[in-house]
Amino acid sequence: MTAPTARADRPTVVCVMSPDVAGLVLPTELRDQLAGMVRLVPDPSGAQVHAAFPEALAEAEVLVSSWGCPRLTADVLARAPRLRAVLHAAGTVKSLVSEAVWERGIVVSSAADANAGPVVAYTAALITLAARRTLTMAAGYGAGWPDHTLRSGGDGLTVGIIGASRIGRGVIAQLARSDAGYRILLSDPYVTHGEARSLGAEPVELAELCRRSEVVSVHAPLLPETTGLLDAKLLALLPDGAAVINTARGAIVDTEALTRECVSGRLEAYLDVTDPEPVPPGHPLASLPNVLLTPHIAGAQGTEVRRLGQYAVAELARWLADEPLRGEVTREALARLA
């Protein structure tokens, strides 16, 4: 999409994010694009990005936010009488928006779509590793190479996907394109059988998914009804040697129950998120050979973070042109989003 030319009545845009990510989210070329469309207050570079909040909001019509932006409470919004749109150059907006945002009729957009691609790719890579029981094989390396009858691969593997979120759907699509012939199961109470099959998955109840899956990947949002969803009873249904992958939210999985299963050696776990996050020093999950812990790195990292800034800048161009926002988040939808 071509950015609109600067208007004589250019709206004021304030960028608020942690200084340590500002230069990654909005590198020079993206700041220049913004400056060509709007009036930036302050210039989004260095520590002033965060230090100027919330006083700078007095003039703001649009807020471009990212990690580190304080919550938009009623008190904060009282200082932003002209604010009409919030474009979040990151994923979830649950910690950012308050009820006051919706009451004011402020439009909200998230760059979650831009963040989904890296998570899908990362999850697919973990599924490939889990299909080969990589952690178990690595742990036994010093004892000699296993006989081929003890090895496993991806062909015909049954993968259970919990949650048809944008990332869950992306993972299903990637698995369906693979030549490994994965059997894909999906459990999501909001997806019809017909929709699940159109995605390339077989719809099943969660208990059946656990009984049949050799790899289970979690992609549900964290809600009251999904907290502790994958509990001891369901984990016990997984076949011996199965793997649990979680790149969603740690609290969806019962940490104590998963720890017991992994301590026994029955299951592998590939966890980019945990509950609590991080796990405390000395926690068994941090030292077990059949568990891989990573520090919440599935989403956009390093130079990938500029994708989020690009998305927000494109959303601003759409907003200026009175076009629909592709990443718009509504009050009604927020409850079911990650």
Query: What is the set of active-site residues?
Result: 249, 277, 296
Q: In angstroms, what CA-CA distances link 137 with 120, 268, 270, 284, 297?
A: 24, 11, 14, 19, 24
Q: Note whether 100 and 72 are within 8 A (CB).
A: yes
What does the block give as tokens for 285?
Answer: 């999950």
Give the CA distances from residue 199 to residues 135, 151, 275, 293, in Å, rounded to whole numbers and listed in that order. 30, 30, 30, 30
CA–CA distances in Å: residue 273 to residues 55, 63, 230, 250, 264 = 35, 29, 14, 5, 21
**CA nearest 86: which of 211, 100, 75?**
100
Main-chain dihedrals φ then ψ at residue 281, nearest 5 degrees: -55, 140
- How does DSSP classify residue 4? P
How close are the terminal C-alpha atoms of the chain, in Å? 27
State the DSSP H helix or E strand holding residue 52, giving kind and residue range, or none if neither.
none
Round to whole Å and give the CA distance between 72 and 318. 23
35 with 64: CB under 8 angstroms?
Answer: no
Of the candidates 42, 64, 39, the residue with the CA atom closest to the CA atom of residue 72: 64
